[in-house]
Chain A
Amino acid sequence: MTFLSYLISGISLGSVYAIIALGYTMVYGISKMLNFAHGDVIMVGAYVCFFATFRWNLPPVAGVLLAMVLCTILGVVIERLAYKPLRSAASLAVLITAIGVSYFLQNAAQLLWTSNPKVFTSVVGNGSVKLFGGQLSISVIAIVTIAACIIIMIALTWFTGMTKMGKAMRACSEDKGAAQLMGISVNFTISVTFAIGSALAAIAGVLLCSAYPTLMPTTGSMPGIKAFTAAVFGGIGSIPGAMIGGILLGLIEIFGKAYISTQLSDAIVFAVLIIVLLVKPTGLLGKQVHEKV
């Protein structure tokens, strides 16, 4: 039974990572940049939801929606102001800019909301479902998280595969120049990608803080790095890859904590990542790119 409960909490944590990793991977796919500020958008989303529900007493659903809307705007604004001027610049320059944005968000949050941790109460309450005569208890938030992850996954697969916008996105990630020649607005498409990624980050932020209820300006950075790892793990740029990578990472982390060592759980996660990359240098589902000679 303990194994089962670890399994469920692993999948639940992994689902959060997966949702964050989806944002990373979509942005990477289209603009080939590591958006280090993504983790901090999660934090902003969580703060917005916190204030909406606990200070202004809005219903949780409204809080989540508000967080999504504000994060979407934030993501698009960041892209327009900080990343768009660097579209043709070296990838390292964009990376440093993303780090600058990350510092900015963290410090702005610290100024606005202080560095004192806020106690986040789960948006769906602290209830749990008891199974097997109470031997196995699954928290509602875990169920909601896993469900959210599955819904998002299905929606995104449909969106990128079937809709016109989704196809434009895939075209832009293949070849921006060619996409532009086919009449696709590259700028708009990239904005939409950032918008979706940031909205997902808001959801992830709320879910994360519902499960681990301490909210600080630096809350987003470690899950951000982990989710980034998950995206690479699954093959960066690949949507199902981010999903699989996220869930595997959550499982490894929880099982590592439970059965090997709490202190070393992060080291275990990163060690597994390294081993996977040594065997498959572009991640589990990543495309092998051959340089033409």
Chain B
Amino acid sequence: MKRISKTAHSNLYTYGFVIIAYAVLMLITATGGISSSLKGQLVPICAYVVMAVSLNLTVGVLGELSLGHAGFMSVGAFTGVVACISLEALIPLAPLRMAISMVIGALCAGMAGALIGIPVLRLRGDYLAIVTLAFGEIIKNIINCLYVGTDSRGLHISFLTNSDALNLGEDGRVIIDGPMGISGITKISTFTTGIILILVTLFIVLNLVNSRSGRAIMALRDNRIAAESVGIPVTKYKMMAFVISAALAGAAGTLYAMNYSTIIATKFNFNTSILILVFVVLGGLGNVLGSIIAAAVLTVIPELLREFDDYRMLVYAIVLILVMIATNNAVFKSMLRRVLGKIRPSITKDVKEGP
């Protein structure tokens, strides 16, 4: 019983952290104590936090390296925005429309995850990683060639042509214009929407991890052969983690896209996938609170360093390398441990080694 209450406690800390951060930031915003550039970052931070927590489900909890998480974000962003624009007349209430769009974005990304998961999850280790990378690039490429428009007759979709091929009526509107992406989005994402999405994500991920299914997923990470030997179906649980992770990334994509007036597919490229992976690894594999903090801090820091514009990414790179060496080098680690006394690893949160 001791351990159950311990995880329950650490989960409460995580929720509490998010809610307090929200309250504090709302207070600062209300008193005008926040710069406009940082204020503009609030929604993207929420989206990145959801991305990091969802990727943590694949990399930290399931133990499979994914290098194409931005692809699912992209699917969610584009389908969510298309849904939102199509529903504009039907549902005038913005928050409700936003919520429905996010659900649609999540469903579509989840489906993409299932579609990709079927072939991908049969592979192991680095081969799985390269295929997720490949899928991320394929999704980007396909959306770049996609044209979608709407008119009174409904949605029109065309592939590999141009927006004229959509044959829109008089009242028609081009939504996705190939490589130009979507422009003229009504920005209805708010910080509050973002925080709600983070809380929903936390609810899903934390409850999943501390349930029968989550245990099975972690068992696959720790020892696949042993898991099979006690009757845990590998594909089912790998798929479960992968699809949930993709769906949450999709919702984050919708949230992210609805914060900008223009969105293009190349925004969600390999570098974005890597950025999210960095959040997850620095926050600690399997450590949800760590992912949240890493995503928030690492999005804010480059923003704060704007005045050192030229050097900020260089500094970021150096810090990244140093942090990785400091946290993973055996000599350094034992030195750190001596300084901090005995660090007791928490039970479910630590991963011995990555995939």
Contacts and interface: CB of A to CB of B under 8 A. Distances in A.
Given A82-B321, A103-B313, A281-B124, A229 B130 contact: yes
A270 B137 contact: yes
A219 B274 CA distance: 18
Contacts of A104: 314, 317-318, 321
A217 to B, nearest CB: 11
Given A99-B278, A263-B145, A90 B321 contact: no
B137 A267 contact: yes
A89 B320 contact: no
Contacts of B126: 28, 34, 232, 236
Q: For the complex, would chain B's binding face be called helix, strand, loop or mixed by DSSP majority?
A: helix
A283 B126 CA distance: 11
A89 to B, nearest CB: 4
A261 B141 CA distance: 11
A266 B225 CA distance: 36
Nearest to B118: A278
Contact of B141 (A95, A232, A264): A264
A100 B321 contact: yes
B318 to A, nearest CB: 6
Contacts of A101: 317, 321
A277 B321 contact: no
* Interface-centre pick from A86, A99, A291 (highest chain B CB count, 10 A): A99
Interface footprint category on A: 35 or more
A34 B129 contact: yes
A274 B134 contact: yes
B317 A96 contact: no
A293 interface: yes
A90 B131 contact: no
B314 A108 contact: yes
B301 interface: no
Given A93-B354, A100-B320, A263-B160, A277 B131 contact: yes
Nearest to A111: B310
Interface in B267-320: 270, 274, 277-278, 281-282, 285, 310-311, 313-314, 316-318, 320
Interface in A80-111: 82, 85-86, 88-93, 95-97, 99-101, 103-104, 106-108, 110-111
B96 to A, nearest CB: 36
Contacts of A264: 141-142, 145, 160
Nearest to A236: B126
Interface string B171-186: 0000000010000000
Interface string B132-162: 0111011001101100000000000000100
B34 interface: no
A86 B328 contact: yes
Contacts of B325: 82, 85-86, 97
Given A89-B328, A92-B59, A273 B134 contact: yes
A228 interface: yes
A82 B311 CA distance: 20
A271 B138 contact: yes
Contacts of B314: 104, 107-108, 111
B324 interface: yes
A86 to B, nearest CB: 5
A167 B10 CA distance: 52
Interface string A257-293: 0000101101100110110011001110000000101
A261 B328 contact: no
A-B residue pairs, 5 tightest by C-beta? A92-B354, A270-B134, A103-B317, A267-B141, A104-B317
25 contacts: A85-B328, A85-B329, A85-B332, A86-B324, A86-B325, A86-B328, A96-B278, A97-B321, A99-B320, A100-B321, A103-B320, A107-B313, A111-B310, A111-B311, A229-B133, A232-B126, A261-B145, A264-B160, A266-B141, A267-B138, A267-B141, A270-B138, A282-B127, A283-B127, A293-B225
Given A90-B328, A264-B142, A270-B137, 18 more contacts: A86-B325, A89-B328, A91-B354, A93-B328, A95-B65, A95-B354, A97-B325, A100-B321, A103-B316, A103-B317, A232-B126, A264-B141, A266-B141, A267-B141, A271-B134, A274-B119, A277-B127, A281-B122
